[in-house]
Chain A
Amino acid sequence: KNEVEQSPQNLTAQEGEFITINCSYSVGISALHWLQQHPGGGIVSLFMLSSGKKKHGRLIATINIQEKHSSLHITASHPRDSAVYICAVKVFYTDKLIFGTGTRLQVFP
Chain B
Amino acid sequence: NAGVTQTPKFRVLKTGQSMTLLCAQDMNHEYMYWYRQDPGMGLRLIHYSVGEGTTAKGEVPDGYNVSRLKKQNFLLGLESAAPSQTSVYFCASSYQEDEQFFGPGTRLTVL
Contact = CB atoms under 8 A, between A and B. Distances in A.
Interface of A: 2, 4, 30-31, 33, 35, 41-45, 48, 86, 88, 90, 95-102
Nearest to B58: A96
A45 B104 CA distance: 13
Nearest to B42: A99
What is the predominant secondary structure among interface residues of chain A facing chain B?
Answer: strand
A36 to B, nearest CB: 10
Contacts of B29: none
Contacts, number: 50
Interface residues of B, number: 23
B34 to A, nearest CB: 12
B55 to A, nearest CB: 12
B44 A99 contact: yes
Contacts of B98: 48
